[in-house]
């Protein structure tokens, strides 16, 4: 009986950790940053650091943004 109760409590605590709001916040912020970057013609790329904040962990690499200014 104790084993069943302990395993149920363990399963509930693991389920609570798996659905923590911090992970959802990171994912939604990452998706917003990615969409903003793509709208500017860039690609969101990781910089190798993992701080838990997508705005610090990634950089928007702009592609084809450095063209020459045409003559008039």
21/36: higher pLDDT: 36
Alpha-carbon gap, residue 43 to 36, rounded angstroms:
10
Residue ranges of domains in the chain = 23-63
Distance of CA 37 to the CA centre of its chain: 13
Q: Choose among 28, 33, 40, 26: nearest CA to 58.
A: 33
Q: Is the pTM of this model over 0.85?
A: no
pLDDT tops 90 at residue 29: yes
Q: What is the mean pLDDT of residues 31-51?
A: 93
* Contact residues for 69 (Cβ-Cβ < 8 A; gap 6+): none
Q: Choose among 32, 21, 38: nearest CA to 54.
A: 32
pLDDT tops 90 at residue 58: yes
pLDDT tops 70 at residue 31: yes
Place of tokens 């450095």: 66
pLDDT-derived band at 6 (thresholds 50, 70, 90) equals low
């Amino acid at each position: 009986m104790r084993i069943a109760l302990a395993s149920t409590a363990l399963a509930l605590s693991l389920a609570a950790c798996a659905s923590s709001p911090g992970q959802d916040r990171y994912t939604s912020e990452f998706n917003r940053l990615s969409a903003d970057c793509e709208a500017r013609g860039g690609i969101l790329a990781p910089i190798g650091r993992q701080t838990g904040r997508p705005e610090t962990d990634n950089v928007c690499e702009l592609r084809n943004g450095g063209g020459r200014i045409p003559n008039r």
